[in-house]
Amino acid sequence: MRGDVNIFCKFSLAAAALLLFGCADGQNNSGNHLSPPIMAVTNTPVTQAIADNAHIENVDKSFITLAQKPSEPNSDTTSLLPFPTTPLKLDQQQPINRVETTPVIADSHQAIHRTDLWQRIRAGFALPDMNSRFVTLQEQWLSKRPDYVARLLQRAKRYLPYIVEQVAERGMPMEIALLPAIESAYRPAATSRARAAGLWQFMPATGKHFGLKQNWWLDQRRDLVASTDAALNYLDYLQQRFKGDWVLALAAYNAGEANIERAVRYNLKRRRDPHFKKLRLRLETRQYIPKLIAFRNIINTPENFGLTLPQLPDKSNYAVVPLPDQLDLGIAAKLLGIPTEELLAINGSYRRWATPPGKGHTLLIPADKAVGFRRALAKLPPSQRIRWAHYRVRQGDTLGAIARRYRVNLSSIKRSNNIRGYLINIGQNLMIPLSEGATIQLARRNTNSPRRKNRNQQRRKRSFVHRVRNGDTLWGIARRYRVYVSQLQSWNALRKQSILHRGQPIRIYASN
């Protein structure tokens, strides 16, 4: 009760002071009113972000770590698949963490800073400041590690210009272009313990929901173009869901929208402040926004921290080239005249040495080489576009038989697929390095051919089953039937550590 009286007295004094101020100010300002503490998103220019005095307790002094997202996206798949039709009602609460921003695609700021990417990024900063101890700790951590910052920004040179262009086109706060520094340190190959992957650290289910393909051939969570488009779509959805509140949208990107909504509802039901700094969140999420703000401050005024930023190209110098069919990435690099490692660095979605079979796939290449690459690729016969074949192990296969079928050395198959022994399993995928003169048609042999079907039927007729008895071992069975242990393992999908049980069927294929 005493607290209520104090609050009432403070409010009365403030109201009285405001009344006196209004009288002294005269008639010209009679129509003005006090702005809310945090303002809603508008298209009105703003010259300075609004301060948000946040204080984070029990902070971790480490800076950039891979975001450990929950094992399922947003801890609530129903909130993502599909999008909820009844978003969280925040109309009756105070404006929270909202910032006036100018769309960063504005022609004026692009024209002024067109030659300096860093100035272009700074002109688009729009998130509120956080004068917190944790932000200070992060700034100190970075300022004491100039080598780390230099390596991070060196990696960013490949990706940041493109990301900045996409963020600017959507009119989003430019801090979002720095988000991969917190998520993955600008490493497309980064994978967290929770299986989040890529520059933007998409969880598998979230990535699939936003159209990112993930299979044996490719993982588009690691693709610069596809993952950036998906991440910005997701962030745009989140800021709409949270009524234009970018701070809550970014927190939801880390913790999941369901968790942030739950925390907001918890505060609203108890008539507590629903600002981000007042929400009950796990420590990682409470530290997530301050980490981004700290890195933003470093980029904004590097001289204050004794750091120097490298020069970056102002615009993306990449072109997306559609491919007519499957293409060996090593051959593509030769046509471009660049190292294979460089091509793989900007096409991180491809998990193998070649693009997937068929049409509909693209390659990201340096823009100044696009015309020459298209011409060279058009002149290259289809039989010379691939040096690798994909093979899926079938029942009865052995490494030796596969090597003979593709006319390649057995050791090359083992080396290409990191196989130490001779055991392969039914359904296992193998990359086969094609021999000189071999064509992709060889790699497309399958069980649909009449000749192979007939051979498989004859092989089934020559097979029989051995029932395991007491004392039987794979070595003993192999010796009895004059076959190799590796063949028994392959025919029956067994491993070296497999335990045989009495009565277990072991299929054996006779050689004659």
Residue 159 lies in a domain: yes
Residue 42 lies in a domain: no
Active site residues per annotation: 183
Whats the size of the chain, residue-wise?
512
The verdict on 209 and 128 lying in the same domain is yes
Q: What is the mean pLDDT of residues 367-393?
A: 91
CA-to-CA distance for 353 and 350, rounded, in angstroms?
8
Instruction: Place 511 in a pLDDT band, splitting at 50, 70 and 90.
Output: low
CA-to-CA distance for 105 and 300, rounded, in angstroms?
19
The verdict on 346 and 453 lying in the same domain is no
Domain boundary among 362, 384, 406: 384
Residue 251 lies in a domain: yes
Residue 46 lies in a domain: no
Domain count, the chain: 4
In this predicted structure, the answer to whether residue 64 has a pLDDT above a threshold of 90 is no
What pLDDT is stored for residue 115 in this prediction?
59
Residue 361 lies in a domain: yes
The verdict on 298 and 162 lying in the same domain is yes
Tokens standing for 89? Answer: 């009602």
Domain boundary among 331, 364, 384: 384
What pLDDT is stored for residue 26 in this prediction?
38
CA-to-CA distance for 2 and 6, rounded, in angstroms?
6
Q: What is the mean pLDDT of residues 87-109?
A: 40
Residue 247 lies in a domain: yes
Tokens standing for 155? Answer: 């990696």
Residue 165 lies in a domain: yes
The verdict on 453 and 467 lying in the same domain is no
Phi, psi of 439 (to 5 degrees): -120, 170
Residues sharing a CB contact under 8 Å with residue 227, sequence separation 6 or more, in sequence order: 188, 198, 199, 200, 202, 207, 212, 220, 221
What pLDDT is stored for residue 490 in this prediction?
78
In this predicted structure, the answer to whether residue 470 has a pLDDT above a threshold of 70 is yes
What pLDDT is stored for residue 403 in this prediction?
87
pLDDT in tens, 238-267: 999 999 999 999 999 999 999 999 999 998
Tokens standing for 98? Answer: 């909202």
- Chain position carrying tokens 């009756």: 92
What pLDDT is stored for residue 496 in this prediction?
67
The verdict on 374 and 273 lying in the same domain is no
In this predicted structure, the answer to whether residue 221 has a pLDDT above a threshold of 90 is yes
Q: What is the mean pLDDT of residues 121-137?
A: 92
Q: What is the mean pLDDT of residues 487-509?
A: 81
pLDDT in tens, 293-311: 999 999 999 999 999 999 9
81 versus 65: the higher-pLDDT residue is 65
Domain boundary among 326, 351, 384: 384
- Among the ranges given (158-167, 326-335, 351-360), the one the predictor scored with the smallest mean pLDDT: 351-360
CA-to-CA distance for 38 and 464, rounded, in angstroms?
78
Q: What is the mean pLDDT of residues 319-340?
A: 94
pLDDT in tens, 68-77: 343 333 333 3
Q: What is the mean pLDDT of residues 181-191?
A: 96
The verdict on 262 and 142 lying in the same domain is yes
350 pairs with which residues across the strands?
A: 218
In this predicted structure, the answer to whether residue 410 has a pLDDT above a threshold of 60 is yes
In this predicted structure, the answer to whether residue 43 has a pLDDT above a threshold of 80 is no
The verdict on 400 and 269 lying in the same domain is no
Residues sharing a CB contact under 8 Å with residue 395, sequence separation 6 or more, in sequence order: 426, 491
Domain around 175 = 73-305
The verdict on 251 and 324 lying in the same domain is no
Instruction: Place 3 in a pLDDT band, splitting at 50, 70 and 90.
Output: very low
The verdict on 329 and 450 lying in the same domain is no
Output the domain CATH number for residue 187. Answer: 1.10.530.10
Residue 220 lies in a domain: yes
Output the domain CATH number for residue 446. Answer: 3.10.350.10
pLDDT in tens, 333-362: 999 999 999 999 999 999 988 898 888 899
What pLDDT is stored for residue 338 in this prediction?
95
Which candidate, 369, 372, 384, 320, places its Cα nearest to that of 347? 320
Q: What is the mean pLDDT of residues 183-196?
A: 94
387 versus 231: the higher-pLDDT residue is 231
Q: What is the mean pLDDT of residues 165-186?
A: 97
Q: In the predicted model, what is the mean pLDDT of the chain?
A: 77
Q: What is the DSSP string of 465-490?
A: EEE--TT--HHHHHHHHT--HHHHHH
What pLDDT is stored for residue 482 in this prediction?
85
Pick from 5-9, 49-53, 68-72, 236-240 the range whose average pLDDT is largest.
Answer: 236-240
The verdict on 206 and 353 lying in the same domain is no
In this predicted structure, the answer to whether residue 444 has a pLDDT above a threshold of 50 is no
The verdict on 379 and 414 lying in the same domain is no
Phi, psi of 364 (to 5 degrees): -90, 120
73 versus 511: the higher-pLDDT residue is 511
- Among the ranges given (21-30, 44-53, 220-229, 441-450), the one the predictor scored with the smallest mean pLDDT: 44-53
Q: What is the mean pLDDT of residues 186-191?
A: 96
The verdict on 326 and 450 lying in the same domain is no
Give the DSSP H or E segment for 109: helix 107-112
